[in-house]
Structure 1
Amino acid sequence: MRLKSQYVVIIAIVGVLILFFGINSLFGDDKTAANAKAPQAAPVGGPPSVQVKLTPPTMRETQVVMRGRTEATRSVIVRSETAGVVAAAPATEGSFVRQGQVLCRLAVDARQASLDQARAALKSRQLQRQAAEQLREKGFRSETQVLEAQANLDAAMAGVRAAEIALKQVEIRAPFSGVFDRRDAEIGTYLSPGQPCGTMIELNPLLVVGDVPETAAASLRIGAPATATLVSGQTLSGRVRYVSREADPQTRTYHVEVAVPNPQMNVRSGLSAELKIAAGAGAAHLVPVSTLVLDTAGRQGVRHVLPDGRVAFAPVTVQEETPQGMWVSGLSGTVRVITVGQSFVADGQKVRVAQAR
């Protein structure tokens, strides 16, 4: 009987599978036995080894470092007190002006005539007052009439003062010495009372302002020396003039202002700066940057080896970063800071110091 071609294929596949499993069972058992007889590597015993660095305390001036910016001591929009058309603008935008210098001058219009009229009325009231006094002495005027003439004279004097003030208000003057930073009114501009002529800023002294975190605010004091390094590399020195008493509700930081001399007014307002403020002397440790780690609570610190050979974590506060390492506070006495292996050990774990440097 002749088999069909598909049956021949099936029988061939079954034969190959039987042959494969037979060979695998024959040689696989030998490999398993050989593996069972092979000796297993014994685990290395003893505590892990780490490298440490002896770090002694150093007395140094502590500093509070923050990002800041330069700011004008005063910035005032100078506004018109009366209405009128700008007739002259003698101050150049961006120039230095003295206190009292005219920034904008309005047209006089009828203000001079009003002053002349008020002065004429004053002269007439003075003559009336004098005549009333003479007639009273002769018995032709009562005391009440004399007092009325005096009241008219006082009103005339007040009218003269009002006219003088109105005429003086046509000259809009600088309230302090500084830079006329921006002009808002040109010749021909009509100004109503309260509209701006321009902006005055005071740049000497100059302020360097910043916001300090609540953890460092208590260490700052009024009058403390400070230095500011601008983006250009220029360094300014000054003293703290203000530390806010109330924190910003959004950032929980306190506003700080440092006044620095700027006699040439060559330092502009709005420049970024790194501000360093002296916060008293204290013990600090210089540790390598690589030794800083985070604990399970997210605090930054270093791991060190106690005298009994166990690991301990100490939270630290970074004071300053230098090419030699980080100056930190929070450590006590001479500390064996772990420099190699600090990320592979846990608090309280017994370790072996492989090398002390």
Structure 2
Amino acid sequence: MRRLKPQYAFILAVIGVAVLYFLVRSLFGGGETPNAAEAKTAEALPSVQATLTPETAREVDVVLRGRTEATRAVVVRSETAGVVAATPAAEGSFVRKGQVLCRLAVDARQASLDQARANLRSRQLQRQAAQQLAEKGYRSQTQVLEAQAALDAAQAQVRQAEIALSQVDIRAPFAGVFDRRDAEIGTYLAPGQACGTMIELDPLLVVGDVPETDAAKLRLGAPASATLISGQKLTGKVRYVARDADPQTRTYHVEVIVPNPGLDVRSGLSAELKIAAGMGAAHIVPVSSLVLDASGRQGVRYVLADNRVAFAPVTVLEETPQGLWVEGLSGPVRVITVGQSFVADGQKVRVVAAR
């Protein structure tokens, strides 16, 4: 039997040692400790920065777009027919309750009243004479009652003529602004035709439409504030919240009543309406932490206890120099502040403290 040359024996020994080494490595994990393996796995995970945000009890406001509106707006109409003879109230001026807005021509109304009053005096005398004759036995009680009935009819005619004469003056039903005049001197008005429009601006309304998600938070009498497009601020209280939603927008109509003693604020101005809705849970987060999910909802991504990513839709309550106050989170939350746009829901991450 031929013996191997020394150099071949050496080569075979090296190969055997190498095979044995790799065999042992594959059986026993290559000699790595479990901690080292876990460290390598953690290094392979995406890294994010997160900050622990506590839950805070805070006054919650419902914010919506609105507009100013007159408390009352009434078209003042004529109750009788006639030609407009005078328009004492200037269009756009403040008028007191009962002030004449339009005056119709008297025509024969004064004559009708004079005739009714003369007839009344005659009936009064007839009633008096019938009573005196009845006391002497020259008239029956029936004749006295007939005289009384004629007197009552004459009184009714006088009252009717007085009302007809008073109706030539079309008066303001309440104190406010005579906003628009629809009839000029010489205009013929039939019963029901308009003299003009009255609006009440003190107090004033600020109205808006609240989403169905916020309608249940509002209560009558809740304090509210309105910021006009000019920057002027008004304060008042909620006087009305609709119970029936608009079928098109699914929103509920809201009215806030505010004082306007100088009539400085006009009707129809745009306003931002803020209504107190009680205490609620809120979190403050950086503006940069807001993201959109696949459905287009605005929210934040945060890290669960097992270092997996989750998404929560939030509603912005207020913007401050320290960040955004939002609702929609519960309890202390590790909000991702760096890397939130590069991770997905359910993905495991490596968390480092926010700088």
Task: Report the TM-score range of the alignment, normalised by the length of the smaller protein.
Answer: 0.7 to 0.9
Q: 2:30 — aligned with what?
A: none
Q: 2:77 aligns with which of 51, 76, 79?
A: 79
Matched, 1:263 2:267: no
Of 237, 240, 256, 1:239 maps to: 237
| Cα distance between partner residues in 2 of 1:71 and 1:289 | 35
Match of residue 116 from structure 2? 118
In structure 2, C-alpha distance between the alignment counterparts of 1:339 and 1:303, rounded to whole Å = 9
Query: How much has 1:297 moved relative to structure 2?
Result: 4.6
User: 4+ residue stretches of structure 1 with deviation over 6 A?
Assistant: none
SS in 1 for 2:204: strand
Comparing 257-266 with 344-353, greater Cα deviation is found at 344-353
TM (norm. structure 1) is: 0.85
Instruction: Identify the residue that residue 310 of structure 1 maps to in structure 2.
Output: 308
Alpha-carbon offset, residue 63 of structure 1: 0.3
What is the deviation of 1:295? 3.3
Matched, 1:335 2:333: yes
CA contact (8 A) 2:286 2:324 kept: yes
Equivalence for 1:193: 191
Q: Deviations over 1:309-350 (max 9, x none)?
A: 111222222222334432111212221111122222222221
Contact 1:285/1:331, CA 8 A, preserved across alignment:
yes
State the one-letter code of the partner of 2:44: G
Q: Would the aligned equivalents of 1:129 and 1:150 in 2 still touch at CA under 8 Å?
A: yes
Alpha-carbon separation, structure 2, partners of 1:291 and 1:146? 97
Distance in 1 of aligned mates of 2:142 and 2:298:
88
Structure 1: distance between partners of 2:175 and 2:52: 57
1:98 and 1:154 mapped to 2: Cα distance? 36
Distance in structure 2 (CA, Å) of the matches to 1:327 and 1:82: 61
Question: Contact 2:42–2:350 (CA<8 Å) still a contact in 1?
Answer: no
Q: Percent identity?
A: 81
Cα distance in 2, alignment partners of residues 307 and 321 from structure 1: 29
How far is the alpha carbon of 1:291 from its aligned partner? 1.9
Distance in 2 separating the partners of 1:324 and 1:273? 26
What residue is the counterpart of 2:139 in the other structure? 141
**Distance in 2, Cα, partners of 1:113 & 1:327:** 75
Distance 2:173 2:104 in 1: 17
Q: How far apart in 2 are the matches of 1:275 and 1:288?
A: 25
Contact 2:100–2:169 (CA under 8 A) maintained in structure 1: yes
Q: Deviations over 1:175-199 (max 9, x none)?
A: 0000111111111111111111111
Q: Which ranges of structure 1 fall in alignment gaps of 5 or more residues? A: 1-42
Q: CA deviation at 1:140?
A: 2.3
Counterpart residue type for residue 234 of structure 1? Q
Tell me, what secondary structure is at the counterpart of 1:134? Answer: helix
Tell me if the contact between 2:65 and 2:270 (Cα under 8 Å) persists in the aligned partners.
Answer: yes
8 Å CA contact 1:81–1:193 kept in 2: the answer is: yes
Report the AA paired with residue 48 of structure 2: V
Amino acid at match of 1:127: L
Unaligned runs of 5+ in 2: 1-40
Equivalent-residue separation in structure 1 for 2:339 and 2:247 (angstroms) = 41
Pair 1:44–1:335, CA change in 2 (3 A):
closer
Residues 255-276 of structure 1 show CA distances to partners (whole Å, capped at 9, x for unaligned) of: 0000011000010000000000
Task: Tell me the distance in 2 between the aligned counterparts of 1:343 and 1:275.
Answer: 33
Deviations 1:28-68 (A, max 9, x none): xxxxxxxxxxxxxxx99621111112222222210000000
Aligned mates of 1:249, 1:320 — CA distance in 2: 30
Q: How does 1:145-184 map to 2 (within 5 A)?
A: 145-184=143-182
CA distance in 2 between counterparts of 1:248 and 1:325 reads 35
Partner SS state of residue 72, structure 2:
strand
Does 2:282 match 1:284?
yes
1:53 aligns with 2:51: yes
User: Residue 355 of structure 1: CA displacement?
Assistant: 3.4
Give 2:270's aligned residue.
272
Instruction: Figure out how many residues of one structure are paired with residues of the other and give that number.
Output: 315
Q: Does the 8 Å CA contact 1:304/1:312 hold for their aligned counterparts?
A: yes
User: Which residue of structure 2 lines up, in the alignment, with residue 93 of structure 1?
Assistant: 91
Task: Name the SS of the counterpart of 2:238 in structure 1.
Answer: strand
- Alignment partners' CA distance in 2, 1:322 and 1:144: 90
> Are the aligned partners of 1:54 and 1:356 in contact in 2 as well (CA < 8 Å)?
no
Letter aligned with residue 76 of structure 2: V
| Kept in 1: contact 2:337–2:354 (CA 8 A) | no
How far apart are the structure 1 equivalents of 2:243 and 2:66? 18
Residues 265-314 of structure 1 deviation map (CA, whole Å, 9 limit, x = unaligned): 01000000000000001221111233223334544321101222111222
1:219 maps to: 217
CA–CA separation in structure 2 for the residues paired with 1:60 and 1:236: 23
Output the amino acid matched with 2:320.
Answer: T
Distance 2:139 2:130 in 1: 7
TM-score by length of 2: 0.85
Structure 2 CA distance, aligned partners of 1:312 and 1:64?
A: 27
Partners of 1:152 and 1:309 lie apart in 2 by 100
